[in-house]
A and B are shown apart, each in its own frame.
Chain A
Amino acid sequence: MSGVRHLYLHLPFCSSRCGYCAFVVEVGGLDRRDDYADALLSELHLEGDVLGRLDTVYLGGGTPTLMRPRRLRRLLDAIRPRLAPGAEVTAEANPETVDGRQLEALVEAGVTRISLGVQSLQPHLLSALDRAATPDQARAAVACARAAGFASVSVDLLFGVPGQDPDDLHRDLEEVVGLRPDHVSWYELELKAGSALARCGVALPDEDAAADAYRTVVVGLEGAGYHWYETANFARRGHQCRHSLAYWGAADYLGLGVGAVSTVAGRRWRNAADLHAYVAALADGRAPRRSEEALDPDTARRERWMLGLRLDRPLALGWAGPPDHPEALPRLRELGLMEGGGAHEVRLSREGRFLQNAVLGELMEYA
């Protein structure tokens, strides 16, 4: 048993909450950062037994860079002995929170990959999203990240933002390609319950407009040499995000921090979202309050399908297990939504990738 090879650290501090955000974040409370780092290390100590050689580490948030390089280094120092050679260590960052020195410090601390939350390069869309960064700060951050020497630089963007017309999207696309990131995550904006945008009741674009935008993004990035390797992710050769691939491959992972989720050996648990309770519990050397879910074999099989079909590579039936409704396969092929694949694997056609949920709905029960 080689142990869990993927580690996630949740760093919840943010200077403000963005309009579309429903993550576990802690606005302000910066004086708790040292306590929080202690708590993370304490949780790592508690749960560390399940870890094997770590292939990937992901520092997500929140705004991880608000922890400052000093604390991040402390965390990474504790993890370093567990890293496998060539491990991928990603940190998320907001463009306005980083400068060249800090980014260099992150590289020195062992971060190999940076994921910058750009979202858009159009001022009116950034303000619609309550993003603090200006387009210039975003451009500068990408340049600094390059200069700092990360092995991989990724940017996050959004489509389907209220007020984003096709021209805005084309401009974003053009500019992003011009910044030459190694990796792009381009998500459709979701209205999550609990976010300010959802509360103020803005309308998202209709299906056709969203479909047009999505296709624009896919075609535009592919044309610039990026590989559409996952529903919302694009990469130059050799720059796919290995940590995310572990999720989509239904690998086990350990998540540390407030609100973090872990899945290990058919058991999934989520730490409670209360930062103070989390810190207090771990200060006493106790595990924080958690909710747990046992993944029975059928649930796990359906998750492998849900996750596996996100990727452009074929889904191996030997690994994923059979679909609940294999009789739907010929019809889906006939409709041009699935293609190729032998008896042992299935794959979505290009068109099918835009309709992944509907295809899953035909194949799987999700009861």
Chain B
Amino acid sequence: MQQSLIRNFCIIAHIDHGKSTLADRILQATHAIDEREMRDQVLDSMDLERERGITIKAQAVRVGYRASDGLHYQLNLIDTPGHVDFSYEVSRSLAACEGALLVVDASQGIEAQTLANTYLALESDLEIIPVLNKIDLPVADPDLHARAIADLIGENPADVLRVSAKTGDGVAEVLEAVVERVPPPSGDRSAPLRALIFDSVYDQYRGVVVFARVVDGELDRRSRLRAMQSGLALPAEEIGYLAPAMTPTERLSAGETGYVVTTLKSLGQLRVGDTLTLDDRPAHAPLPGYREVRPMVFCGLFPVDADRYPALRDALERLSLNDASLLWEPETSQALGFGFRCGFLGLLHMDIVRERLEREYDLDLLATTPNVEYAVTHTSGSVLAVRSPVDLPDPNHIEVIEEPYVRATILVPHDGVGAVMGLCQERRGAFVTMEAIEQRQQVVYDLPLAEIVLDFHDQLKSRTRGYASLDYEPVGNRAGPLVRLDILLAGDPVDALSTIVHRDMAHARGRDLVERLQKTIPRQLFEVPIQAAIGGRIVARETVKAKRKDVLAKCYGGDITRKRKLLERQKEGKKRMKQVGGVEVPQEAFLSVLQIGDGGS
């Protein structure tokens, strides 16, 4: 197809602002799917995504569209992930497009992530088509939000489209605007192949499938491909596009997007952002913007049942086939036994991986407190990357500890500014700027990432009644007076409960933690002291009293079976606990470390 008839675009939207519904409408309006096949949110094919209302994996769907000018266009709708953890993936998806629909809920207005992704899109020189969705809602205020969006992207409020993806109202105008306003691609078809990998998935039947935008040249079914950054050879079995079903084709030309089914059996070295080129006619230089993604958040994952360790390893191996950003290495905990220290892009990524492991692989897992990667300078001068509190060297041998910081941008209604600033201060934030955007304040703080990976987001939501939204980006490491807070159960330190905290907060956290543990650990056959310690010095103590009564009141001929079953259930409950130095610790106890300082005590 001629490049002048191709449009590549994506949708930028906050969670729940209607991206998936609008995508569904576009598929319907272009007859890519018929009514019979229509189900909600066709593009979010994984169950997990459906439930969470978010999209993890971008896909590109090609639809044909006869515009009002009478011409037949090829529209490629490239889906983008919607969460801060995946901002690099978002930037690669954006780089595969010439335009973006900026979808904003007409009752809610712009959120922090939308703002961040809009800036990303503007940086990538995308043509932005602002769309107010949900105009059918009685509480919608389209005029107000249209002015705000127009301000943001420097457009005329009159050019902001108004739609209801739910009723289909205004969807035709959106398609016309895509054709009219989004520039066609302008690659060089005769140049050596350069195709941007913006997503990849592992399919158990087909192997690794790469989604790519052809920037220059042509991608042929018989091409011998190579990824330029990794040097990886990619033998292609089939090329094609999603319509939305996989549709094989002979070639993809500059300007088009599609997929390549490779013979690779694992994502392994393959990275989003890499450039596909021809083995025998390579391009001079790869496409710009490639970055190695580094995990930001780490936690230990342990099977509750030690026998399931091999199963956990297999499951991580399988997940890695489809998730190149998931890092994992074996870890041994005195308290929890054999498990893995895993690295994630962020908290959401961590939750998703955990949930998939439990749901898809039927594993019962214990997760330790998430932490960041610390750069520890030893007195000897060597620098250590510490990904687990237990690996922190003896304080006497530490010259300096640095921890990663992020610049957090928070959008909040004016009356929530105090709460947000209070929270940021509590979490060791350094104020950067504040300015009014639309009807809200944009508050910017530099914060230790370690403070965000605990419960910052939940706290932010609860303290602003859900009105604040958050986006953040790394701004490098900074030194700080950090110490390890240890927890002792019945006198023995429990490595899995150790955390690294700021010295000034260590006492309060220690107290908070032992109180929480005291509430979650059930009474045992003996008294269990719970202590918090910093460098061997006890800073807080609580006690779980010994059990005083545990009997079955009655047991006669008629109820022997029932009472036996009661004991069986009790035994089941016991099995879900972890034996830590003779103390039975429920899984929730390990989670309680996560919920710090919400005044729950």
Indicate if the CB atoms of A302 and B564 lie closer than 8 Å: yes
Chain A hits for B559, CB < 8 A = 261
Indicate if the CB atoms of A210 and B564 lie closer than 8 Å: no
Chain B hits for A332, CB < 8 A = 525
Does A229 sit within 8 A of B, measured CB to CB?
Answer: no
Indicate if the CB atoms of B548 and A306 lie closer than 8 Å: no
* Stretch touching chain B among A106-114, A116-124, A142-150, A353-361: A353-361
Chain B hits for A262, CB < 8 A = 557
Residue on B with the closest CB to A6? B557
Q: Once bound together, how far apart are the Cα atoms of A260 and B368, in whole Å?
A: 50
Chain B hits for A364, CB < 8 A = 567, 571
Does B554 sit within 8 A of A, measured CB to CB?
Answer: yes
Chain B hits for A189, CB < 8 A = 553
Indicate if the CB atoms of B549 and A211 lie closer than 8 Å: yes
Chain A hits for B551, CB < 8 A = 188, 214, 231-232, 353-357
Chain A hits for B525, CB < 8 A = 332, 335, 337, 355, 358-359, 362
For B547, give its contact among A302, A307, A353, A358 (CB under 8 Å): A358
Indicate if the CB atoms of B574 and A361 lie closer than 8 Å: yes
Does B251 sit within 8 A of A, measured CB to CB?
Answer: no
Indicate if the CB atoms of B555 and A208 lie closer than 8 Å: no
Indicate if the CB atoms of A354 and B550 lie closer than 8 Å: yes
Interface residues of B in 487-538 (CB under 8 A from A): 523, 525-526
Interface of B is mostly: loop
Does B552 sit within 8 A of A, measured CB to CB?
Answer: yes
Indicate if the CB atoms of B571 and A310 lie closer than 8 Å: no
Residue on A with the closest CB to B526? A335
Q: Write the A249-262 contact mask toward B (1 if CB under 8 angstroms, else 0).
A: 00001010001111
Interface residues of A in 345-367 (CB under 8 A from B): 353-362, 364-367
> Given A355-B525, A361-B574, are A207 and B556 neighbors across the interface (CB < 8 Å)?
no
Indicate if the CB atoms of A260 and B558 lie closer than 8 Å: yes
Q: Once bound together, how far apart are the Cα atoms of A149 and B553, in whole Å?
A: 30
Chain B hits for A190, CB < 8 A = 553-554
Indicate if the CB atoms of B560 and A263 lie closer than 8 Å: yes
Chain B hits for A263, CB < 8 A = 557, 560
> Given A231-B552, A357-B551, A366-B564, are A261 and B571 neighbors across the interface (CB < 8 Å)?
no
Interface residues of B in 538-576 (CB under 8 A from A): 545, 547-561, 563-564, 567-568, 570-571, 574
For B564, give its contact among A255, A259, A299 (CB under 8 Å): A299
Indicate if the CB atoms of B547 and A208 lie closer than 8 Å: no
Does A47 sit within 8 A of B, measured CB to CB?
Answer: no
Does A35 sit within 8 A of B, measured CB to CB?
Answer: no
Indicate if the CB atoms of A306 and B558 lie closer than 8 Å: no
Indicate if the CB atoms of B570 and A361 lie closer than 8 Å: yes
Residue on A with the closest CB to B584? A361
> Given A261-B557, A307-B560, are A367 and B568 neighbors across the interface (CB < 8 Å)?
yes
Does A34 sit within 8 A of B, measured CB to CB?
Answer: no
Q: Once bound together, how far apart are the Cα atoms of A355 and B567, in whole Å?
A: 13
Indicate if the CB atoms of B552 and A187 lie closer than 8 Å: no
Chain B hits for A302, CB < 8 A = 564, 567
Does A312 sit within 8 A of B, measured CB to CB?
Answer: no
Indicate if the CB atoms of A306 and B557 lie closer than 8 Å: no
In this complex, which of A8, A214, A355 has the most chain B Cβ atoms within 10 angstroms of its Cβ?
A: A355
A2 CB to nearest B CB, Å: 19
Interface size on A, residues (CB 8 A): 50
Indicate if the CB atoms of B550 and A188 lie closer than 8 Å: no
Indicate if the CB atoms of B563 and A358 lie closer than 8 Å: no
> Given A8-B557, A247-B560, A255-B558, are A366 and B552 neighbors across the interface (CB < 8 Å)?
no
A135 CB to nearest B CB, Å: 23
Indicate if the CB atoms of B554 and A207 lie closer than 8 Å: no
Chain A hits for B545, CB < 8 A = 208
Does A99 sit within 8 A of B, measured CB to CB?
Answer: no
Chain B hits for A6, CB < 8 A = 557
> Given A207-B548, A268-B561, A355-B525, are A232 and B571 neighbors across the interface (CB < 8 Å)?
no
Does A102 sit within 8 A of B, measured CB to CB?
Answer: no
Interface residues of A in 143-196 (CB under 8 A from B): 187-190
Indicate if the CB atoms of A366 and B570 lie closer than 8 Å: yes
B529 CB to nearest A CB, Å: 16
B556 CB to nearest A CB, Å: 5
Does A136 sit within 8 A of B, measured CB to CB?
Answer: no
Indicate if the CB atoms of A357 and B552 lie closer than 8 Å: yes
Residue on A with the closest CB to B545? A208
Chain B hits for A357, CB < 8 A = 550-552, 567, 570
Does A137 sit within 8 A of B, measured CB to CB?
Answer: no
Chain A hits for B564, CB < 8 A = 299, 302-303, 306, 366
Indicate if the CB atoms of B549 and A253 lie closer than 8 Å: no
Indicate if the CB atoms of B553 and A187 lie closer than 8 Å: yes
Indicate if the CB atoms of B567 and A360 lie closer than 8 Å: yes
Indicate if the CB atoms of B567 and A366 lie closer than 8 Å: yes
Chain A hits for B552, CB < 8 A = 231, 356-357
Q: Once bound together, how far apart are the Cα atoms of A18 and B278, in whole Å?
A: 85
A332 CB to nearest B CB, Å: 8
Indicate if the CB atoms of B557 and A247 lie closer than 8 Å: yes
Chain B hits for A365, CB < 8 A = 571
Does A222 sit within 8 A of B, measured CB to CB?
Answer: no
Q: Write the A234-253 contact mask toward B (1 if CB under 8 angstroms, else 0).
A: 00000000001001100001
Indicate if the CB atoms of A355 and B547 lie closer than 8 Å: yes
Chain A hits for B549, CB < 8 A = 207, 210-211, 214, 354-355
Chain A hits for B558, CB < 8 A = 8, 255, 259-261, 270
Interface residues of A in 56-104 (CB under 8 A from B): none
Interface residues of B in 330-389 (CB under 8 A from A): none
Q: Once bound together, how far apart are the Cα atoms of A303 and B560, in whole Å?
A: 8
Interface residues of A in 283-328 (CB under 8 A from B): 293, 299, 302-303, 306-307, 310
Chain B hits for A299, CB < 8 A = 564
Instruction: For the complex of A and B, list the 9 residue pairs with the smallest distance between their C-beta atoms, beginning with the closest.
Output: A211-B548, A211-B549, A188-B553, A357-B550, A366-B568, A366-B571, A358-B550, A366-B567, A261-B558
List residues of chain B with CB under 8 Å of any chain A CB: 523, 525-526, 545, 547-561, 563-564, 567-568, 570-571, 574, 582
Known contacts A207-B548, A232-B551, A261-B561, then 6 further A-B pairs from the complex at CB < 8 Å, ordered by chain A residue: A231-B551, A231-B555, A247-B557, A293-B561, A354-B551, A361-B574
